[in-house]
Amino acid sequence: MNNTFILFCQREWQLLFRNTSNLVQPLCFFVIIALLFPFSLPLENELLQRIGGGIIWVSAVLAILMSLESMFRADFNDGALEQWLIHPRSLPLAMLAKVFAHWCATGLILALFSPILCLAFRIPAEQIWVLFLGLIIGTPSLSLIGAIGAALTVTLHRGGVLLAIIILPLYIPILIFGAGMITQSYSGAAIYSQLYALLAILALAITLAPFAIAGALRTTIE
């Protein structure tokens, strides 16, 4: 298959499995950050249950933020980005594939791993499902929006801090709705409004972010 999306997905996965540190590092970071909280908080089951969901969300955001810096770095350093810029194939589609591969390596794995962390916080089973659902829908938006920042800072040698400053404020709405979903479900209310808000953000990010990433790369590489 020579479809641009499939071609770039295959390439990214091939590279991920050659260089497994990109798969393992965000996950380890996520687990460790989340597990620091139970150690530093008073040992009250009720408190941990109430704030556990939010802590797991913040850990996921930080883990994804950490993995973003290297997203375009290797492709920029070895000149692959230049080659894509002057290729007749669609750059936004190629970038969408790259973000999708990045999400599979970070957001998807974090979401799959989150139920195990929930046990550490003694979060009840119904809320585990809510958290899992929220992460599955919310993390692709995190990757897509983060990729715009990564594209803007790709030429800077130490762009990590700048990237965090640009991107973290944009993550706040996703964090509000994602963590709010668990609080809502904990108090027994329906979670649809937050779910729809997350889905709306995702739909917006999928349609607009690839073009923003492509535009950002075109202007920064010059």
Partner 1 sequence: MVLLNSPYCKIILNEPLRLANWWANIPSISFSIVALYITALNLLSDISSTSIAPILSAHELRCVRGERCLFDGVGFSLSAGQCLHLLGSNGSGKTSLLRIIAGINRPQSGDVQWRASSIFDDPANRLKYFSAVAYLGHKDGLKDELTATENLSFYRRLENASNQTLIDQDLARMGILEHAEISANKLSFGQRRRLAFARLLHADFRLWILDEPFTGVDIQGRTLIEQICNQHLASGGIIILTNHQSLATSLFAQHIKQLRL
The verdict on 221 binding partner 1 (CB under 8 A) reads yes
The verdict on 43 binding partner 1 (CB under 8 A) reads no
We find the least distance from the C-beta atom of residue 74 to partner 1, in angstroms, to be 8
The verdict on 86 binding partner 1 (CB under 8 A) reads yes
User: Going by C-beta distance under 8 Å and a sequence separation of 6 or more, which residues neighbour residue 100?
Assistant: 5, 9, 140
Q: 154: which DSSP letter?
A: T
The verdict on 82 binding partner 1 (CB under 8 A) reads yes
Three-class DSSP category at 2: coil
Q: CA 202, 206, 208, 213 torsion: positive or negative?
A: positive
The verdict on 193 binding partner 1 (CB under 8 A) reads no
- From CA 121, how far away is CA 127, in angstroms rounded? 11
Start-to-end CA distance of the chain, whole Å, equals: 32
The verdict on 80 binding partner 1 (CB under 8 A) reads yes
- Interface stretch with partner 1, choices 75-83, 113-121, 179-187, 201-209 (CB under 8 A): 75-83
Q: Identify the residue among 24, 36, 78, 165 touching partner 1 (CB under 8 A).
A: 78
The verdict on 18 binding partner 1 (CB under 8 A) reads yes
At 24, list the tokens.
Answer: 């393992």
Question: Given the structure tokens 């953000």, which residue do they identify?
Answer: 201
Residue placing its CB nearer to partner 1 in the complex, 83 or 193: 83
- Which positions lie near partner 1, rule CB under 8 A? 2, 7, 11, 14-15, 18-19, 74, 77-80, 82-83, 85-89, 221-222
